[in-house]
Each structure stands twice: as C-alpha cells, then as structure tokens.
Homo-oligomer: A and B are copies of this chain.
Amino acid sequence: MTIDTVFTELSSMLGDRLSRSKSDLSHHGGSETHFAPAPPDAVAWPETTDEVSRILHLCHAASVPVIPYGAGTSLEGHTSAPMGGLCIDMSRMNRVVSADPGDMIAVVQPGVTREELNHELRALGVFFPVDPGANASIGGMAATRASGTTTVRYGSMRDNVLGLTVVLADGRIIKTGSRAAKSASGYDLTALFLGSEGTLGIMTELTLRLHGVPEQISAGICAFPDMASAVGAVQQVIQMGIPMARIEFVDADTARAFNGYAGTDMPECPHLLVEFHGSPTAVAEASEAFGEIATDFGATGYEHATRTEDRNALWKIRHHAYYAVLSLRPGAKAVVTDICVPISKLAEAITETQADIAASGLMGPILGHVGDGNFHAALLIEDGNEPEKAAAKDLAARMSTRALAMGGTITGEHGIGMGKLGLMGAEHGPAWSVMGDIKTALDPKGILNPGKLVPQG
C-alpha cells in the first residue's frame, strides 16, 4: 500500500475531515516559537476512538508517519512533521464524556481544552487544576506531562490522570488505569503514556482526577530587593510546609516589560506572586505566615486579596507576561525554554543563567513556577536572524547542562519534542536506550511522531 492509497482510503472514510489543502498543512506544520515549518502531507479530523484505530491500522500497514495534534501550543516542536505523513488533529474529539463530582472524576476526550473543561465543571463545584498557562488541549497536556502554576499544590498531569484509552501504532485499542484512586495492578501504563509525546500511542479518552473548588482563594504579590531574597523566601516557605496553591517568580526585566506593556508603575525588581486555597481560616493563616517570611527576606508592599476581580488585578503581570516580554523587542520571536532543579539550587541556577544571558547580549527575562524549582527564560531574537537564533539555542542548551549538573532535569514541563532531543543522552545516559527499546516494542515500524524524544535510528 502506498501513502496515496492510504489517503484515498482515508478520504472515503472521513470525507471532508481529511484535508490536503496548503493552508491546513501549513497551519499544522507551524510552531508558536522558532521551529522551521515542517508540514504533514495530510490532516485528518477523527471523531471517535474507532476512527483513530482504523486510521492507524491503515497508516501502520503502509508505514505512514502519524503526528497527533492538540491545540498547537507546544513549545518544543512536538507537532512538526519532519518526515511528512498524516497529522491527526484531535480537535473534533472535544467532549466532556462524563463528570462525576461524587467520585471527583471526569472522563474527557483529548481535544477539549483546559478552559472549556473548567467551564463545563464550574456548575458542579469541582475543577481540573493543571494550568500550563496556554489554553492547551487536555490530550496535549497529557502527552507532554504538563504542569504549571498550581503543580506545587495539585501536582502535574502525572498526578491527575487516572486512566487512558489509547490507540496503539497498529490500531489496537487498550485501556489503562481505572476509576479507583490508586492501584498496584501491573505496570503503570498510564504513567508510561503520559509524557510519551505521541510516540507510543494516541490517547482518545482520559479519566481525570478533579478537585473541589476551594471555599476561599487568596492571592498576593510582593516585591523583593533582589532575586536571591525572593528565592530564599521560596525555599523557606516550602520547608515550613506552608500550603500554597501557586507561587510564581517574575524577574526585574519582566516587571519592566509589564510596565511598558500595561502602563503600570510597579517596582522594577523581582516579585513573588502567591495564591492560597482552603477554608477562610486556613487561607488567612497561610497568607499571614507567607507575609512574615517574605518580610524577613526584605519583601515590601505585600498586597493580598480574596475577591476574584482583585485577585485577577494582582496576578495580571503573570497572565500577560509572555506578551509583555515580547513587547520588549517589537517584532521579536522568543526561544522559550525551561529547566527544573532541586529547590536548594534554584538561586544558583537563576544567577548563572542571568549572567549567561547578560553576556550573550540577548534579552531574556526569567519567570517560573519556583515552588517546583522550575523556571523559564524567554530569549528574544529578531525574526529570521539565524546567528541570534543559534546563540539563543546555545544559551538554552547551557541552561539544560547546568540543570543536570545540579541534579535537575532539562525540562520541568515543556517536554522534549525536537527542541531538546540532542540533550536526552546527557540527561538519561543508558536509560535513554531503554526508552528506545520500549518505543520499538510498542511501535516497531516507528510511525508514531517520528523524529522526537527517543534515540533516532
């Protein structure tokens, strides 16, 4: 069977839900960041698990590459099609199949976005907590083992997905996990597929763990004289076990960018943003304890609020950080990268990264989920300026090397895709080849999202 026969068969199966139009190919082969376009040969929009199974059965027979596609918010080139093939766009499988606040469980299709899901859950008094910032699809978040601002309290996708329906490379359909809160029954296939970036199978249904909407939410922000003081405060509140729902760091450059972007006049120095969830008593107690520690570390102007509109106002800098940072250099693109280190190494990792960025001459504000030891640099480059792009990628690679030397990881939440493939050997050593062995066992023809994550032929 040739690739054209496959597309002909798919076309008769899917009708206008198979496209080979230039604009569809170009849209699905693009990237939010700096990756060169790498379009697929066709795009399919399946509507059921059974359709995904039939599509994979055909592609497997003809060895056609298959690239799953969610909301396209990936930062490491996960959805590029460097070997062509079929992009499977999951956006039509976007239903909340069921939501059960009694068991704190929702069953969803992968194409539903985080915001759509929480919109549907609102009336039930429950929510899905993982928040990577972008309005990503739940399937994409699962495929990259996403985390984000609330991970310090609620965990990442690893902690909030109980089970999956997965279509394997050859079209077989399996189910992993269950609706029980835990299990000791066999290999943890759910965890294996989470973070596998579409290289082991395509998720078509996810069983998610929900959480009760907190009785009260309190948010706060304060300014620090320097980065070391802010990070010192983070280390202290983590060690004290003060229950935080979010704790975010933005550096002085981000504050400056925000002032320019939003016309505000916040102090152009490092800030911490925090949020507390719980009973009014617990929230007040935690907020007060945080304020005391922050003050001990030299923080000033600790403002906090419980009303939604006031909280949103305090957190505005975080929500608009990406576009504010881009506005520092009009027309620029960003090489956005992330690393994660043990909390005791956080100040050292940020200091060395800031020095490295300064020496490069590029602009690169730093911000992140510091409660997890996870931070981002948004390295601004002129669109089309190849030397700048190379310099930014070198900086990002040095950040990863630094994270490894400190006992950390090359990515806390963005994943590997094509962007960090070259660093996998350094992080995992011979364990990387074990990942390759698992890939070969599950996808012997290598059709699933080729060119990503595992050692390449």
- A residues at B contact (CB < 8 Å): 100-105, 144-147, 151, 155-156, 158-159, 168, 172-176, 178-189, 191-192, 194-196, 200, 211-212, 214, 235, 238-241, 243, 278-279, 281-282, 285, 340-344, 372-374, 403, 407-416, 420, 424, 427-432, 434-435, 437-438, 440-442, 453-454
Contacts and interface: CB of A to CB of B under 8 A. Distances in A.
Given A156-B182, A343-B103, A430-B173, A438 B214 contact: no
Contacts of A188: 145, 158, 188, 191-192, 194-195
A189 B147 contact: no
A409 B146 contact: no
Contacts of A200: 187
A347 to B, nearest CB: 12
Contacts of A342: 103, 105, 179-181
B409 A189 contact: no
Identical subunits present: 2
A187 B192 contact: yes
Given A174-B430, A181-B342, A185-B427, 14 more contacts: A103-B344, A147-B184, A174-B434, A178-B427, A179-B407, A180-B372, A182-B412, A183-B412, A185-B420, A186-B416, A186-B435, A186-B453, A189-B434, A438-B438
A190 B56 CA distance: 29
Nearest to A103: B342
A187 B183 CA distance: 20
Contacts of A427: 178, 185-186
Given A195-B188, A282-B285, A340 B410 contact: no
14 contacts: A103-B344, A104-B239, A104-B343, A145-B188, A174-B430, A174-B434, A179-B341, A179-B408, A180-B342, A183-B412, A184-B411, A185-B424, A281-B285, A440-B441
A336 B431 CA distance: 37
B373 A181 contact: yes
Contacts of A240: 212
B429 A174 contact: yes
A413 to B, nearest CB: 5
A81 B168 CA distance: 34
Contact of A408 (B178, B278, B411, B437): B178
